[in-house]
Amino acid sequence: MMQRKEPLSVQRANKNQSRNLAKLANFFDDGFNLPRVQSPPPTITVPKRNTDDFKVPLKGPQTQTRIVGFPVELATARNLRAVVLGYATQSFTTDWKKFHFAFREPKSKIPYGLDASSPGPRALTLGVQGYVLKSLLFSSEQISEESSAYFGKSSPKPSAVGQENATVDAFVDIIWKCATPLNKQKENSGNGGENKRHVVVTLVGQEPCFKTKGYFVADGFTEKLWLYTMHSKSELRKFMRRNVHYFCNRAYPGGVLLLYSMVLSRTCEVIKKDMGRRQDALLTENARSTQALVNLVLTGNAAPYLHNGVIRTDNKGKPLEHPLPGIRGRSDIGFLYFNKQEHEKRRTEVGSMLKTPSFPIWMTQVNGTFGIIFCTARDLVTDWKTERYFSLHYFNGHFTQQDETILTLDTRTRADCVTNPDRQVTIWDDEEEIEKKQPSLELCLFTKWPGADVDWNGESPYY
């Protein structure tokens, strides 16, 4: 059966309709030919640089020993600053930053003398000077070589090697006295307590060990400290012998390093307990040494007073709210004190623990000026007969003293006044004449040897 052929007009209309439907389908498939919106590229998050990131140095200063050091932490550095200076934000003065221990030339007239011209570290320097003299005069080597007689022995004249050895001995004695015993029972009983103590020595590295913040101001060395811990005196001596140049070279703050070593060996907590409520720091506001620092050097205890033991009551027997801590044991190096500004009836009294030391060496403080006096006769502190007639050497550490000052004391004719009539004080003398007739250093010596006749041997007296 044949299909009916549609008219030509109808065929054209069908083709147009099919073409329109195809276009409509393409519109749907292509999204009506709308421009495609490109999606933004994925955001790459770049981590911000953490400004608190800090790399602790892995290597400390060269020590030539097997003892491993550890970099100081921020908390330890803050405690050091607080104990020494009072505040973590406070820094040392210029004389402390530039100070290092230095002897005079071996060929000079005072070859045993340390340079104590810097006003801030002067007390610390003369404290070390006392232990240097102890090593030069009364070490086991000196005793074995010259055991016949100490009386009349001349002052020490060490070579450069002898100066260095005496410095090592002095540092070891001072730090070891400050060190905290690991076993208090052994320490108190005397059975081997000297063999085990907690000793910490500080040295300066090249790079900071922590990131300084607002409450800690960098000073160029406190933030670069490395701590070396030891537990025996032999270890300490070996370490100090190989690293003594860190304390005696102008490139390093030797005085600060010794002071920090003393504090960390004693521990900050114990030093605060030693000082009690008397004071808050070892240095004054103008970076001068307090009595607590002097006692720490001489005895290993930062007591702020000079009397023996602990005073718990006042003059009337009433208990004190805060006891006054003093010296609890006989010191190797003594201390004498005199200040002409004090009233005669209210003068500072020095206890026998400091006034009669184990060795005839005394640190003096006369009208605020520190010095050292010593006798070459060891028997001066053990045999009363030696105190009848003897000589004392005086050294103040200042560059103006170029020659030795030797005083001769005669206690055989003790009197209430000076035996020389020309030096007695009358009511007609003014203050200047009284000062000329009674040198302050003599009055300081009278606190130990009252009424002694003092011969300056032609030297100008110290007032």
DSSP state letter for 239: H
Q: How confident is the prediction for the chain on average, in pLDDT? A: 84
pLDDT at 50: 45
**Per-residue pLDDT at 33 exceeds 90:** no
Stretch 33-52: mean pLDDT, rounded?
Answer: 50
Judge residue 403's burial from the number of C-beta atoms within 10 Å of its C-beta, 0-12 exposed, 13-18 middle, 19 or more buried: exposed
State how far the Cα of 376 lies from the Cα of 393, in Å rounded to an integer. 8
Q: Say if CB 112 and CB 155 are below 8 A apart.
A: yes
- Mean pLDDT of the region 186-214: 77
Q: Shortest CA distance to 368 belongs to which of 270, 291, 272, 442?
A: 291
Residue-wise DSSP of 385-417: GGGGEEEEEEE---TT--S-EEEEEE-TT--SS
What is the distance, to the nearest Å, from the Cα of residue 138 to the centroid of all Cα atoms in its chain? 26
* Whether residue 152 has pLDDT greater than 90: no
Give the pLDDT confidence of 257-269 residue by residue, as tens digits: 999 999 999 999 9
Q: Given this model, what pLDDT does residue 76 score?
A: 95
Q: Which tens digits make up the pLDDT trace of 72-81?
A: 999 999 999 9
Asked if the model's pLDDT at residue 23 lies above 80, the reply is: no
Answer for the pair 363, 371: CB distance below 8 angstroms, yes or no.
yes
* C-alpha to C-alpha distance for 255 and 35, rounded to whole angstroms: 80
Separation of alpha carbons 168 and 164, rounded Å:
6
Tens digit of each residue's pLDDT (9 = 90 or more) over 289-310: 999 999 999 999 999 999 999 8
From the centroid of its chain, how far is CA 73?
18
Closest by CA to 102, choosing from 89, 87, 118, 78, is: 118
Residue 433: what pLDDT?
A: 67
Average confidence (pLDDT) over 96-107: 96
Placement of tokens 């003068």 in the chain? 347
Residue found under tokens 């930053």: 97
- CA distances to 134, 337, 340, 348, 415 from 344, rounded to whole Å, are 33, 14, 9, 10, 18
Residues whose CB is less than 8 angstroms from the CB of residue 462 and which lie 6 or more positions away in sequence, other chains included: 366, 371, 394, 396, 405, 439, 440, 441
Residue indicated by tokens 């550890």: 70
Q: What pLDDT shows up at residue 140?
A: 62
Do 413 and 388 meet the contact criterion of CB atoms below 8 Å apart?
no
What's the confidence (pLDDT) of residue 227? 97
Q: 123 pLDDT exceeds 50?
A: yes
Instruction: Note the pLDDT of residue 414.
Output: 62
The Cα 153–Cα 156 span in angstroms is 9
Say yes or no to pLDDT of 144 above 60: no
Average pLDDT of span 203-214? 89
Indicate whether 35 pLDDT > 80. Answer: no
Q: What share of the chain is helix, strand, coil (3-state, %, to 5)?
A: 35, 15, 50
Would the pLDDT of 361 be above 70? yes
Reported as a single tens digit per residue, the pLDDT across 380-418 is 999 889 999 999 999 999 989 999 999 999 998 765 544
* Rounded Cα distance, 209 and 223, in Å: 6
Q: Which two tokens stand for residue 121?
A: 């570290």
- Residue 440 has phi, psi (to 5 degrees) of -65, -35
Q: What is the DSSP letter of 103?
A: B
Which whole number is the average pLDDT over 358-377? Answer: 96
pLDDT of res. 422: 55
Residue 47 has pLDDT above 80, yes or no: no
- The confidence band for 193, taking pLDDT boundaries of 50, 70 and 90, is very low
Q: What is the Cα gyration radius of the chain?
A: 38
For residues 193 and 292, the model is more confident at 292
Give the model's pLDDT for residue 88: 87
Residue 119 CB-density burial (10 A; 0-12 exposed, 13-18 middle, 19+ buried): middle
Beta bridge partners of 372: 363, 395
What's the CA gap between 247 and 252, in Å, rounded?
Answer: 7
| Whether the predicted pLDDT of 64 surpasses 90 | no
Domain boundaries, given as residue ranges, for the chain: 64-111+157-266, 289-463
Asked if residue 102 lies in contact with residue 112, where contact means CB atoms within 8 angstroms, the answer is no
| Three-state SS at 225 | strand
Q: Which residues pair with 200 in a beta bridge?
A: 229
Taking only the tens place, the pLDDT of each residue in 417-457 is 444 545 655 556 666 666 567 899 999 999 999 989 999 99
Helices 122-138 & 254-266, crossing angle to 10 degrees? 80
**What is the percent of the chain where pLDDT is above 70?**
78
How many residues are present in the chain?
Answer: 463
Q: How much is the pLDDT for 323?
A: 87
Looking at residue 463, what is its pLDDT?
72
Q: How far apart are CA 4 and CA 136, in angstroms?
A: 142
What would the two tokens of residue 457 be? 């041997």
Tokens of 290: 């307090």
User: Does 183 score more than 90 pLDDT?
Assistant: no
Give the pLDDT of residue 343.
Answer: 87
Q: How do residues 82-98 score in pLDDT, each as one tens digit?
A: 999 998 888 999 999 99
